[in-house]
Amino acid sequence: MTETFSGKTVWITGAGTGIGRELAIQLARSGARVAVSGRQQDRLEALAAAHPGIHPYPLDVTREADSRQVYDRIEQALGVPDLVVMSAGIWVLMDAVEYSASEAARVMTVNYQGAVNTAAAALPAMRARGRGQLCFMGSVAGYRGIPRAALYCASKAALIAHAEALRTDLAHAGVDVSIVNCGFVRTPMVAANDFPMPGIIEADDAARRILDSLATRRFEIAFPWQVVMQTKLMRLLPYWLYFALIRRVVQDGPFGLGKPKY
Ligand SMILES: NC(=O)c1ccc[n+]([C@@H]2O[C@H](COP(=O)([O-])OP(=O)(O)OC[C@H]3O[C@@H](n4cnc5c(N)ncnc54)[C@H](OP(=O)(O)O)[C@@H]3O)[C@@H](O)[C@H]2O)c1
């Protein structure tokens, strides 16, 4: 349903690679004006050079003032965005022996605060206009704490709760809020993972699913359904059963995240 965004303005962060990049390409092909942000300018420029309709706006989303300035430049050049996708993010696995407050702050600052900085820059104009869409990138990892992924899971759980609250807060302002909770997607983010990634899908497939669902203004965009169903069921389990199962899965099971170092 990418036709929905033909002639519309879209801002995507984390668009130099992975899901954000695929979203930008598919949206530009369907006739949208797409502002792409990320830290690495050369990637954004190469993307813009290869795809008419894509415009590079380098940004580190952890910098609130820069986020506002970049937003202002986008609004002046392309108009108030109809859709903003907060795809910038980092994936960190951490053993208990490496437990680090500064690393936790880094992950939250990019994955959570970075998304909030982006949304906060665009929201006033969307509210003033009485329409718009904010799309946060959560993860099925935000449903429950997964061993070795405490920092990542916490950042995604925060985004899910944030989006749930904002959906209601903005309902009467004409601004729709969505959250993407996907399983593994083949992107540079997971390229170094040395464990099996059940149900992994390609980034262009993920982008198609996200755009189809955004066109319907659905709140939760969750896929693939098999992974979503399993992780949602895990969320319903009592803790004693959850911990028994997750230990088994982590140490020997199909997810094989590897034996934790204490
Ligand atoms: N791949 C998966 O399996 C998966 C599953 C569930 C959810 N997700 C989520 O989906 C989103 C996209 O991930 P992806 O898989 O497409 O990974 P990716 O290819 O690594 O893309 C993430 C992008 O974020 C950008 N980024 C990182 N820190 C940034 C910062 N401080 N400011 C601006 N941009 C920053 C990176 O570009 P620069 O280095 O140029 O800044 C990169 O292009 C993430 O939020 C991720 O958590 C991914």
- pLDDT tens-digit series, residues 181-230: 999 999 999 999 988 898 999 999 999 999 999 999 999 999 999 999 99
* Residue with tokens 């809020």, as numbered in its chain: 177
Residue 38, ligand 1, Cβ within 6 A: yes
Query: Taking the domains of the chain in order of start, what are their residue ranges?
Result: 2-231
CATH of 2-231, one of 3.40.50.300, 3.80.30.20, 3.40.50.720, 3.30.300.30: 3.40.50.720
Integer Cα distance of 59 and 12 in angstroms:
11
User: Over the range 66-96, which residues count as b (16 or more CB within 10 Å of their CB) and which as e?
Assistant: bbbebbeebbeebebbbbbbbbbbebbbbee
Just list the catalytic residues. Answer: 152
pLDDT band at residue 62 using 50, 70 and 90 as cut-offs: very high
Cα 217 to averaged position of ligand 1 atoms, centre (Å): 23
Residue 18, ligand 1, Cβ within 6 A: yes
Query: The pTM is what?
Result: 0.96
Residue 160, ligand 1, Cβ within 6 A: no
pLDDT at position 251 over 90: no
Mutate to test the pocket of ligand 1, among 187, 193, 221 (most ligand atoms within 8 A of CB): 187
* Residue with tokens 């108009």, as numbered in its chain: 79
Integer Cα distance of 108 and 158 in angstroms:
9
pLDDT, mean of residues 167-186:
97
- Please give the backbone phi and psi of residue 233, each rounded to the nearest 5 degrees, phi first: -65, -40
Integer Cα distance of 56 and 65 in angstroms:
18
